[in-house]
Amino acid sequence: MVKKIFFVDDEIVIRENIRACIDWEKEGFNYCGDAPDGEFALPLIEEHKPDILITDIKMPFMNGLELSAIVRKRLPNTKIVLLSGHDEFEYARQALRIGVEDYCLKPLGSADIIRLLREVAVKIDRETEQKMKIEQLNRSLTEKEHASGEQLIAQLCGGFIASAEAIELASTLGLSLLARQYAVILTDIRSGVEGNPDEHSLISRIESDISALFEEHAEYLTCKRSRTETVWVLKSDHSTRLQKLCEMLTEAIKQIEASSGSGISIGIGGIQDRLQGVHTSFLEAEEDKHWRRLTEQHRSALFEMSNSFERDLYLDRDGFTEFLAIGSPRQAEAYIRQFAAGLAAIDWSTSLFGYYILNDLTFEVIRKARKLYRAAASTEESIETLKRMIRSVKSLDEVCEYLARLAELFWKWRADSAGKYGELIAQAKAFMQANYGKEGLSLQDAADHVNVSASHLSKVFSQETGQTFIDFLMMTRIRKAMELMQSTNAKSYEIANEVGYNDPHYFSNLFKRVTGMTIREFRKHGWQQDSPFGEGGTKDA
């Protein structure tokens, strides 16, 4: 790259000789200007921004040292060469303090100047290359940290990393995971126009609006799940903020959706008070998003097929599900009769609108049951039975009979929710307790043992125990390690290997993270009564 040269000297003969006696273009330089003193030169230097400034020291108005000091501040990348006819140490010392590139004594011939400029040009190129490498490295590190951060959030949501390990990894990435409460939100943004070339920028703008909404109430970490879908892990140390945010979120998303003209599907997971609960909240958010989408599709169809008279009919879905959640069977008959009164005007023999309303209400009840009682309300058989019952309705009395049946089913799900997967969980725990010493023991291994899919076991285990599979396995291994430390003289690396960790350094850090003590401290003092290490928990999580 051609370097620009600017020359300052109060002797016009010297300036003209320098300008005329060197074939600057041939030598690979651009002589962009000269000036008789620093004051005259400064605005020209700021205009041309030379790569190399050659200036005499002894000049009127503003000398070379004063000019150099100003240029160093305003144009730090410009290299400065000072010329002087005075062989004095004080000038050289001041020049070095300012940070000039070279200090040369007059007179200098053309060959000396070209040699000097080439040396400086080489240094400029070397520094430029080094800066580019550093910038590229920083970008690469930033991208890797971002990718690692997203991978950490994905693993945490998927239940593939223990809480203690997640905290340790987050610390190395400069991320803060710890909080009193967590909730997972899923958003899926669609432009509504297939093949929209502006979809990427549209999604970015909407996600920026959503992040601004979240920032008002909580901190968050996020990762992209796909081109359109994003996972948001919200966290807060204030007990009510996440609850308020989740309550207002649906309406706020509708406003963003209306202003952007896009479709936004959301899923809201339950609020958890432990880091290991992020996985459970994520599963709940996935399920919530699925049912919200089904309900929305159904309501769209309902609106399209109804006439203006029928659109005035209304059932308080939220009120009905609230009654099911806190009500009792002896209150059911009176409440249902009053609730269904709004459908009295429907002619079931000529209109399908009533069936759509019952379907819509049923979707909402099932979604509520899945959220409150998790897997208890998951059987497709129950859903099909309800659909058949809806199709058989012919009168208001039969509507009430159906709603009573729906309430009974909801309450059965509520009663059955506890302990439905007790045997499955017990088998999985027994398998881990028997095989914890095997390095690489995985969720898939346990799933194969109990004859279910890995995703199903992960979901059920988290929902029923409040703990991820990985966290339970880690706690099992740490407890066994503590037993070995108390009952044997085995070295720490031997114990690490015995409980399934082949990296003793990682094991030592993990042990400290979980128990709050180093291995040496634990062996010396034993179990502390006030230690935060307890059943199903960790020190920090």
DSSP assigned state of 60: S
Residues 415 and 476 in one domain: no
Beta strands in 363-500 (DSSP E): none
Residues 391 and 443 in one domain: no
Domain membership of residue 366 as a residue range:
307-420
Torsion of CA 85, 86, 90, 96, to 10 degrees: 20
Residue 436 lies inside a defined structural domain of this protein: yes
Check residue 134 and give its pLDDT: 76
Residues 406 and 456 in one domain: no
Residues 414 and 426 in one domain: no
Check residue 158 and give its pLDDT: 86
Residue 357 lies inside a defined structural domain of this protein: yes
Strands 79-84 and 181-190, how do they pair? unpaired
Distance from first CA to last CA of the chain, Å, rounded?
56
- Cα–Cα separations (whole angstroms), residue 516 to 234, 238, 532, 541: 26, 25, 8, 12
Residues 189 and 203 sit within 8 Å (Cβ to Cβ): yes
- Cα–Cα separations (whole angstroms), residue 276 to 36, 272, 535: 73, 8, 13
Check residue 314 and give its pLDDT: 59
* Domain final position from 369, 385, 420: 420
- Cα–Cα separations (whole angstroms), residue 73 to 44, 46, 77: 16, 12, 9
Residues 245 and 214 sit within 8 Å (Cβ to Cβ): yes
Q: What span, in angstroms and rounded, lies between the C-alpha atoms of 156 and 166?
A: 7
Residue 245 lies inside a defined structural domain of this protein: no
Confidence check: pLDDT of 192 > 70: no
Q: What is the pLDDT of residues 336-366, one digit of tens each?
A: 988 888 788 788 877 777 787 888 788 888 8
Check residue 536 and give its pLDDT: 38
The arithmetic mean of pLDDT across residues 409-435, rounded, is: 81
- Lowest average pLDDT, out of 94-108, 260-274, 336-350, 476-490, goes to 94-108
The CATH code of the domain that includes 91 is: 3.40.50.2300
Residues 321 and 438 in one domain: no
Residue 479 lies inside a defined structural domain of this protein: yes
Residues 409 and 450 in one domain: no
Phi, psi at 234, each rounded to 5°: -90, 145
Higher pLDDT, 360 or 486: 486
Whether the model clears a pTM of 0.85, i.e. scores above it, the answer is no
Residue 272 lies inside a defined structural domain of this protein: no
The CATH code of the domain that includes 471 is: 1.10.10.60
Residue 122 lies inside a defined structural domain of this protein: yes
Residues 221 and 175 sit within 8 Å (Cβ to Cβ): yes
Strand order in the sheet with 29-35: 29-35, 3-8, 52-56, 79-84, 102-105
- Provide the token pair at 143: 């991208």
Average pLDDT, the chain: 81
- Lowest average pLDDT, out of 237-251, 385-399, 504-518, goes to 237-251
Q: How far is CA 488 from the centre of its chain?
A: 43
Check residue 499 and give its pLDDT: 92
Q: What span, in angstroms and rounded, lies between the C-alpha atoms of 51 and 54?
A: 10
Residues 429 and 329 in one domain: no
Residues 340 and 382 in one domain: yes
Residue 50 lies inside a defined structural domain of this protein: yes
Residues 230 and 247 sit within 8 Å (Cβ to Cβ): no
Q: How far is CA 206 from the centre of its chain?
A: 16
Residues 427 and 397 in one domain: no
Q: What span, in angstroms and rounded, lies between the C-alpha atoms of 294 and 60?
A: 83
- DSSP assignment of 86-127: ---HHHHHHHHHHT-SEEEESP--HHHHHHHHHHHHHHHHHH
Residues 442 and 403 in one domain: no
Q: What is the pLDDT of residues 8-67, one digit of tens each?
A: 988 888 888 888 888 888 888 999 999 988 888 999 999 999 999 988 888 888 888 888
Phi, psi at 451, each rounded to 5°: 65, 45
Residues 402 and 513 in one domain: no
Q: How far is CA 73 from the centre of its chain?
A: 40
Higher pLDDT, 284 or 85: 284
Number of domains in the chain: 3
Check residue 378 and give its pLDDT: 52
Residue 86 lies inside a defined structural domain of this protein: yes
Check residue 535 and give its pLDDT: 40
The arithmetic mean of pLDDT across residues 418-437, rounded, is: 83
Residues 323 and 437 in one domain: no
Residue with tokens 């806190």: 326
Among residues 403, 386, 409, 408, the alpha carbon closest in space to that of 340 is found at: 403
